Amino acid sequence: MIVVLAHAGDADARRLAASWPRGEAVLLTPLDLTRPGWIVAHPGAPGSFVAQGRRRATAAVRGAVVRLGTVDADELTPVVEADRAYAAAEVTALLAFWLRTLPRGPVNEPSPACLAGPAWSAVEWLTRAARAGLATGAIEVTVGASPVPPDGPAGRGSGGTRVRVTVVGERVLDSPAPEVLDGPLLALARTAGVGLMGADVAAAGGAWRLESVSLCPRLDRPAHREALADLLARRR
Partner 1 sequence: MILLWGTADDPPLAAVAAALDRRGAAHVLVDERAPVPASTRFRFGDRLEGRVGPLDLDTVAAAFIRPQGVHLGTVRGAEQARLHACLLAWTELTPALVVTRLSAQASNTSKLWQAVTAREVGFEVPDSLATTEPAAARAFVDGRSGVIYKSLSSVRSIVRRLPPGERDRLEDVRACPTLFQAHIEGVDHRVHVVGSATFATMVVSESDDYRYDQASERVAVELPGEVTDRCRALAEALALPVAGIDLRRTPEGRWVCFEANPAPAFPYFEAGTEIADAVAALLDGPPPAVTGAGSATPRG
Query: Residues near 54 by Cβ (< 8 Å), separated by ≥ 6?
Result: 37
CA 129 to chain centre: 17
Cα–Cα distance, 10 to 13 (Å, whole number): 5
Cβ nearer to partner 1, comparing 149 with 178: 149
Told to check if 144 binds partner 1 by CB under 8 A, we report yes
* Cβ neighbours around 96 below 10 Å, total: 17
Cβ nearer to partner 1, comparing 114 with 165: 114
Cβ nearer to partner 1, comparing 24 with 124: 124
Classified as helix, coil or strand, 23 is: helix
Of the candidates 65, 115, 87, 111, the one whose C-alpha atom is nearest the C-alpha of residue 217 is: 65
Told to check if 142 binds partner 1 by CB under 8 A, we report yes
Cβ nearer to partner 1, comparing 14 with 35: 35
Cβ nearer to partner 1, comparing 118 with 195: 118
The amino acid present at 129, given as its one-letter code, is A
Query: Residues near 174 by Cβ (< 8 Å), separated by ≥ 6?
Result: 163, 164, 165, 166
Span from 8-16, 133-141, 170-178, 223-231 in contact with partner 1 (CB under 8 A): 133-141
Told to check if 130 binds partner 1 by CB under 8 A, we report yes
Span from 4-12, 44-52, 179-187, 218-226 in contact with partner 1 (CB under 8 A): 44-52
Told to check if 204 binds partner 1 by CB under 8 A, we report no
Of the candidates 85, 66, 64, the one whose C-alpha atom is nearest the C-alpha of residue 76 is: 85
Q: Are the C-beta atoms of 95 and 5 separated by less than 8 Å?
A: yes
Least Å from the CB of residue 83 to partner 1: 7
Paired strand residues for 65? 4
Chain positions 94 to 113 lying near partner 1, rule: CB under 8 A, are 94, 96-97, 100-101, 111-113
Q: Which residues contribute to the site for partner 1 (CB under 8 A)?
A: 33-44, 47-48, 50, 76, 78-79, 83, 86-87, 89-94, 96-97, 100-101, 111-113, 118-121, 123-124, 126-128, 130, 135-144, 147, 149-151
